[in-house]
Amino acid sequence: MRKFISSGDFVEDQFIGRKFERLNDFENAIKAYECAEKSSIKAWGSPPPNIYERQAIIYRKLKDYNSEINIIKKALNYYPDSKPFAYRLERAKKLSKSKINKK
């Protein structure tokens, strides 16, 4: 697999992230989304919500609920009135508790 290298453009890095997702290369996909986040904050002051949504989806697929919770909380800092993020946060918390109870 090839290694992620930022294009320097937050839109392009999002496209690269999706390509890595389709290849199930989630580590590089997350790196791409993180770079897109940094670039968009630098350029516009805030990132687009889909950057967080894609990362949350990846963490859910990996059953890494704590990381999913953390990324959603980060998204809610920028989008505090987002019902989809609020719903996803509650669901991730339930899944995290369920995972802990199964151990």
**CA–CA separation, 10 and 66 (whole Å):** 25
The full set of domain ranges for the chain reads 10-102
Is the four-CA dihedral 73, 60, 66, 43 of positive or negative sign?
negative
Tokens of 89: 């946060």
**CA–CA separation, 70 and 86 (whole Å):** 12
CATH of domain 10-102: 1.25.40.10
Q: Alpha-carbon dihedral of residues 65, 70, 72, 77, nearest 10 degrees?
A: 170
Q: Which amino acid is at 96?
A: S
Mean pLDDT per 10-residue segment, the chain (103 residues): 86 96 97 97 94 98 97 97 97 89 62
Give the CA distances from residue 62 to residues 24, 56, 66, 82, in Å, rounded to whole numbers and listed in that order: 10, 10, 11, 24
Predicted pLDDT of residue 101 = 63
